Structure 1
């Protein structure tokens, strides 16, 4: 049996695979970037993506910028935007009204258990940051918080003077949906929430 018949090689897979021509590699990178950005719930840095893909940061940054420009030129309903923390998909501002209508009035859908728990924490601990809400629930609440904002149940309430974290509170629409005149009429559930929330910073970590 010849050496050629008995020798096998393993080919790399994913965004780091150095197979195919430049066009094929470029298309694969664009595809993989879209796949990753579809599942993140917070902005992801170019460096973190580059490290995961095994590619230069400059290559990843240029491709992200290229995708962002194309989405804008094509008039897509979503926008790939770079913020301080990194890159993430956002609803295009021109589509905000229709999205809000869909989430608030276009469908009569009950809040999920996660949304109910999240809005309860905000209601009883407001004004409160996303980090502290996540700490109380024990899971990341960024996505649920965005949904509650879009549904008009919670809103931004300025920044914490010490940490600078964005704070949230319930809205008048929240009271309307619950049939309450004020927050004073909320059931007395506060004792069931953790008391040590004040000992947490805005990332959910205990402070010393």
Structure 2
């Protein structure tokens, strides 16, 4: 029975979504070239669930969506949440941050307005920001073609640790002081002599 449990564990672990007992049976029957009774599969899944219910494991086998999958136990939700948040922060590319900042400061803004500022096509970046739920569709513009208007979302606020858009730095916060040490001296533009 152990060999059956190992195969079932491997199938549950590798399945991209919850795997149904019928699909497990079909895989095992094809592999062993013999019918594997559903009763044996159900018993083995139950023993696997008992095994991973022990405190020694951080994950368990859960039945959801009509199938089985490995999920981490609720006790580890906080540490996983931190990891996902850190990974999400790292995944924002320079172009995504640039696009996001334009949306944050100019919202509500159309994609063509973003593209005019950036000078490049923003379809992919806007789609990724929508998928990450950092921006959302705020409506449609009254201009020709009624393009979508984009703005930041609640998740954007949480992501950057702010409660209001007024907390975003203003352009003057980025201005360089005239007397700053190490700032380049202003050079006079070379004059162009006429022949």
- Give TM class, smaller chain: 0.3 to 0.5
TM-score (normalizing by structure 1): 0.44
Higher RCO, 1 vs 2 (CA within 8 Å, ≥6 residues apart): 1
TM-score, reference length from structure 2: 0.47
